[in-house]
């Protein structure tokens, strides 16, 4: 891990072990872990999920973009209300299978979206 970037991590525990999560596309999605760091732009929380149906032969990014927004709004925001300060950014990621954060995994499809929080709403930010 890069200590300057990664300050802390929460893996599946009692507050996060929710099993399969409901998303608009209906595909199976499970919580993997939450990380937080403070790069130059401020506090960022990263919510990482496993979605086995994404990638080649499966669901394309366009088919799951609403799922990521939904996870930000209905999963990440409620969790953050209970654990800490308001972030500058929330990053939602979907991976076809569990991979270690920051480690190359070119064979594992992954999708990412970033959001800022305004008035208890996730607002999409272009990377």
CA-nearest of 20, 109, 122 to 63 is 109
* pLDDT tens profile 54-69: 999 999 999 999 999 9
Where do the DSSP E strands lie in 15-109? 20-21, 29-37, 44-50, 89-95
Q: What is the pTM of this model?
A: 0.84
C-alpha R_g of the chain? 14
**Cβ pair 64, 25 in contact under 8 A:** yes
* pLDDT tens profile 99-108: 999 899 999 9
* pLDDT tens profile 5-42: 344 454 444 344 568 999 999 999 999 999 998 766 78
Query: Which stretches of 18-107 are DSSP H helices?
Result: 61-71, 77-83
């Amino acid at each position: 891990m890069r200590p300057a970037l990664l300050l802390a991590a929460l893996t599946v525990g009692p507050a996060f072990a929710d099993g399969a999560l409901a998303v608009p596309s209906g595909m199976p999605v499970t919580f993997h872990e939450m990380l937080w760091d403070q790069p130059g732009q401020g506090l960022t929380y990263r919510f990482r999920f496993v979605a086995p149906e994404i990638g080649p032969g499966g669901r394309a990014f366009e088919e799951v973009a609403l799922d990521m927004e939904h996870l930000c709004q209905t999963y990440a925001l409620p969790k953050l209300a209970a654990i800490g300060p308001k972030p500058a950014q929330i990053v939602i990621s979907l991976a076809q299978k569990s991979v270690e954060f920051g480690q190359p995994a070119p064979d594992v499809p992954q999708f990412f979206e970033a959001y800022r929080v305004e008035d208890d709403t996730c607002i999409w930010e272009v990377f």
